[in-house]
Amino acid sequence: MDAIAGTMDEETAVKLAVRGDEQALARLLRDNYALLYRYLLKVTMHKAMTEDLVQETMVKAIERIGTFQRKSKFSTWLITIGTRLYMDEMRKKQRERKWQTGEQALQAIRFETALRQEEWPEMLEALGTLSYDIRVPVLLKYYYGYAYDEIATLLDIPLGTVKSRLHNGLKQLRKELGR
């Protein structure tokens, strides 16, 4: 298995992982880690929360690999798990009324970005002004290229809600960016 692990395609790795092959599952998780991390960082705008969500997503994927039905790519399945965990976390924080303001989260990411001497794109800053229920569909559609129906399925919301949130999100972004 180790000799072919580097050349195995995703479909084969998924089939093996679903059947209980731990090396195949480890490879799939490793190959999709960076994508999942970057996605969740853009969604949460908070490094510590992102790290927690990535870890929780990986654990859920390990626990539920036997239920993966291969109707979508493995990365899409991970993003779905991560998104749902994030939405659950946001609902929980709203109930507890202990969540950070968007500005505090943006300042933390700005600080980390400055430490690494990276640019802080104007668009990411504008995305940070959107509420999470609008930011997530905008990222999925315009950054990751998901179709409307895929976003509706991912987020478990009606297609009309997806379109409405995207419309409102773009309107808010245009206003924020002065376009």
Query: Same structural domain for residues 79 and 129?
Result: no
Query: Same structural domain for residues 108 and 157?
Result: no
* Whole-Å CA distances, 167 to 2, 110, 134, 170, 175: 48, 27, 9, 5, 12
Residue at 53 is within a domain: yes
Q: What's the total number of domains in the chain?
A: 2
Residue at 16 is within a domain: no
Q: Cα angle vertex 81, ends 25, 59, to 5°? A: 45
Residue at 167 is within a domain: yes
**Crossing angle, helix 22-44 and helix 74-96, to 10 degrees?**
50
What are 67's two structure tokens?
A: 């239920």
Domain boundary among 93, 118, 143: 118
Query: Same structural domain for residues 174 and 133?
Result: yes
Rounded mean pLDDT of the chain? 84
Residues 169/134, Cβ–Cβ less than 8 Å: yes
Query: Same structural domain for residues 102 and 139?
Result: no
Say which CATH number the domain at 79 has: 1.10.1740
- Domain assignment of residue 36, given as a range: 32-118
What are 82's two structure tokens?
A: 């991560």
Structure-token match 């895929």, residue found: 150
Domain boundary among 69, 86, 118: 118
> pLDDT tens digit string along 80-130?
999 999 999 988 877 654 334 444 555 555 556 565 555 556 777 788 888
Closest CA to 89 of 102, 74, 101, 99: 99
> pLDDT tens digit string along 141-165?
887 888 999 999 989 899 999 999 9
DSSP state of 67: G
Tell me which range, 74-78, 100-104, 132-136, is most confidently predicted by mean pLDDT: 74-78
Query: Same structural domain for residues 66 and 101?
Result: yes
Query: Same structural domain for residues 41 and 108?
Result: yes
Query: Same structural domain for residues 36 and 108?
Result: yes
Query: Same structural domain for residues 106 and 144?
Result: no
pTM: 0.63
